[in-house]
Amino acid sequence: MSQRLRRPFTIALPIITSLALAAGAVSAVAQDPAPLPTEAAPLNDVAVEQPARGLIVKLDDAADAQVSDLTDEVEAELPQDVTVANAQSGSDLGLLSLSEQVDAADLDDAIEQLEANPDVEWAVPNGVRMPSATASDIYYRQGYQWNLNGQWGVRANQAWDITTGSPNVRVAVIDTGILGSHPDLRGRYVAGRDFVDDEYRCVNRACTRIKYRRTFVSANDRNSWDGSPADPGDWRNGGTCAQMGASQSTWHGTHVAGIVAATRNNGGVVGIAPGVKVQPIRALGRCGGTDWDIAMGILWASGANVNKYDRRHGRIPLNRTPAKVINLSLGASANSIRQARQACRLYGSVARTARARGSILIAAAGNAGIDHRYNVPSSCPGFVSVAATMKTGARASFSNYGAGIDIAAPGGSGYGSAEDQILSTWNAGTTRPGTNAWGFMPGTSMAAPAVAAAAALGQSVGITNPDVLERVLKATARRSNCDTNGCGAGIVDAYGVLTARAPTSAPRISGSPRPGGTLSATTGSWRNRASVGLAWYRGSRVVGTGASYRPTRADIGRRLVVRATAANGNRNIFHQSSIVVKSKSRTVLVMPKRVKKSKRVRVRVKVTAPYVRATGVIRVFDGRKRIAVKKLKAKNRGSVRITLPKLKKGKHRIRVVYSGSGKVTASKRIKVVRSR
């Protein structure tokens, strides 16, 4: 993938005399700006080849095979002279690394072969993602943080009257790493990790044996995954990375981190949520970042156990300070929507895991100025996709648009004066870290952390559920002259998030979830004096209102949802809980109290339930030992006969356990018998 980056306008720290950003003014030594390009160069270009460095394979839950067992069938479908160089097997997710980088389209045959295997749920290329920022030529002049409190900024200064954020809230910035020595970022972060991997070479001609080079070309820090997310610089020469041109270091992660949480009132720039902490996670090196490394970074950020998926890098310690907001200012455009959906199999799976752990994922929508559905990972399920807007509130010309755009935030125009871009923490070093500085950049990379910071402020006041937080972000967004196609719900409003009547806990359901019983629900806790009502749903249909509901026969096997909504608030902001209604089963065991040890005993098990026929599995135990299993089918009409093995002389505690089904509750029956 080609990458065209221009150096951002910078302000070196020694030049700055004072900043009063809480009030919105920046004082600096001003100089005439250098001319800017008429249009920002897109970082993601849909017309280029999509590099892939391997295949990520998801095994079926019932599979006995390991990912490494699939090597031979994959190699038979690879391009000529390309082999599987390494197989990394996890519990259900694994990685097949290739002997060389290929175009993702060249892996179609291998993927088709894999997905024909019953042990494989899906397979996708291990693609490469890049930072989602554009940048202007170098120049110096006075800057202004219009993205915080301008007409179409995020209204941060008003939000700060309520909270600047809690230090117990962490925002993971999955990016190029961070320069923690920057004055505006000192003390603003918690421990993170580095997930940029090493390169490898083939030891023999067939590449059945590999050796990691220990050159760390992309990592640029002399090691592979480790505990240091420091940014060593992502500069490169023309031949450093395949399909990528020369570039100076971008300090992209540092710029993103400053937008989130740069220190307030210390003479530098200020972040939108200056009270929260950043967790830097390095997943982008000089040659970008692979989907596998990015995915592992997401999982680690959420507190998941990465060792379950990746064992090559030694034991990775659990994240003891998980991030409830994860920002991804990165991505790449697929060559087709089919290819994008293919990559979303991995990212959608990872997002489900992270969101189940309480983390909301914010992703840049991309800078190619094209249909957003091509962009990965922002177009994938579970990610909040963020478009970029200009000072005027209009969509930036470089910002992707269309189906799947969730929300927008200030990202700059990419042309005009520096003040039309986003000012944040930066560094003046062209390769290695040099003088700490401030710089202007435009891009959806700059828009995404604005939404992440607003989400962190919401987390700080107790809006912690990812689904609810996403609803609040969208419901409180302000509509500018950018329509739904370009900006989704509108421009994020940090003040609106904090003043919304929003839930901080879910309704709690109690009672009997079966026909004839009664269910009761609380409204949960809410902010800002909300007057909350409850409604009961079966699917999309409202079947009741109020604090209680009596399930009917029509509810059997269905999931009932109780939804709490503020009558004096936005109807799109709600919290809900659910429960499945089942018919209560009763299990009967017909068996003599005395049996002969020399004979096998035939017993009868009957399971009954009102309104429905019981189906499922019946297991018979002698004490703790399972001695028989039988499937109960609808045609059995709830009754089966089971032949037990011979019972040794003495007293036996026979326990019959019925598993239950989607419509019937589980039940059991115990009988004590004597064998003689």
Report how far apart the first and last C-alpha atoms of the chain are (Å, whole number).
79
The b-or-e profile of 139-172 (16+ CB within 10 A means b, else e) is bbbbbbbbbbbbebbbbbbebbeebbbbeebbbb
DSSP 626: E
Cα–Cα distance for residue pair 424/256, rounded to 1 Å: 7
Q: How do residues 144-172 score in pLDDT, each as one tens digit?
A: 688 998 899 999 999 999 999 999 999 99
List helix spans (H) across 52-192. 71-75, 108-115, 146-149, 156-159
For the chain, the residue count is 676
- Residue 208 binned pLDDT confidence (cut-offs 50, 70, 90): low
Token digits of residue 330 = 């990165």
Share of the chain above pLDDT 70, in %: 88
Token digits of residue 50 = 């999509």
Cα–Cα distance for residue pair 138/561, rounded to 1 Å: 56
Which stretch of DSSP H or E encloses residue 142? none
Cα–Cα distance for residue pair 641/654, rounded to 1 Å: 15
Cα–Cα distance for residue pair 252/246, rounded to 1 Å: 16
Give DSSP secondary structure letters for 362-411.
Answer: EEE--SSSSBGGGEETTTSTTEEEEEEE-TTSSBPTTS-BSTT--EEEE-
For strand 193-194 and strand 277-282, is the pairing parallel, antiparallel, or unpaired? parallel
Greatest mean pLDDT range, 70-84, 417-431, 629-643: 629-643
Quote the Cα angle for 474-351-362, to 5°. Answer: 40
Full-model pTM: 0.81
Question: 445 an active-site residue?
Answer: yes
How many CB atoms neighbour CB 647 within 10 A?
A: 22
pLDDT score recorded for residue 140: 23
User: Which of 198-207, 406-415, 509-518, 534-543 has the weakest average pLDDT?
Assistant: 198-207
Q: Check pLDDT > 90 for residue 396.
A: yes
Q: How do residues 187-206 score in pLDDT, each as one tens digit?
A: 999 999 999 988 766 666 65
Helix (H, G, I), strand (E, B) or coil at 424: strand
Q: How do residues 22-79 score in pLDDT, each as one tens digit?
A: 222 222 222 222 222 222 233 333 334 677 888 888 888 777 778 888 888 888 888 8
List, edge to edge, every strand of the sheet that includes 422-427: 9-12, 436-441, 422-427
Q: What is the mean pLDDT of residues 335-359?
A: 95
For residue 254, the one-letter residue type is T
Share of the chain above pLDDT 90, in %: 68
DSSP 583: B
- Residue 17 binned pLDDT confidence (cut-offs 50, 70, 90): very low
Question: 313 an active-site residue?
Answer: no
CA separation (Å) from 617 to 74, 567, 634, 643?
38, 46, 12, 15
Cα–Cα distance for residue pair 393/480, rounded to 1 Å: 5
User: Of the residues 136, 226, 252, 480, which is catalytic?
Assistant: 252
Residue whose structure tokens are 């499937």: 631
Q: Find out whether 116 and 454 touch, Cβ atoms under 8 Å.
A: no
pLDDT score recorded for residue 209: 64
Question: 252 an active-site residue?
Answer: yes
Residue whose structure tokens are 């993103």: 256
* Contacts for 328 with CB less than 8 Å, ≥ 6 apart: 174, 175, 294, 298, 361, 362, 363, 364, 377, 378, 383, 448
Neighbouring-strand partners of residue 630: 618
Q: Check pLDDT > 70 for residue 214.
A: yes
Q: How do residues 303-319 score in pLDDT, each as one tens digit?
A: 999 999 988 888 999 99
For the chain, the maximum distance between any two Cα atoms, rounded to a whole number of angstroms, is 104
User: Of the residues 97, 132, 136, 175, which is catalytic?
Assistant: 175
Token digits of residue 100 = 């060389």
For residue 92, the one-letter residue type is D
User: Of the residues 249, 445, 480, 505, which is catalytic?
Assistant: 445
Neighbouring-strand partners of residue 578: 561
Residue whose structure tokens are 């990016």: 175
Rg (CA), the chain: 29
Cα–Cα distance for residue pair 10/140, rounded to 1 Å: 6
The torsion angles phi and psi of 297, rounded to 5 degrees, stand at -65, -40
**Mean pLDDT over the full length of the chain:** 87
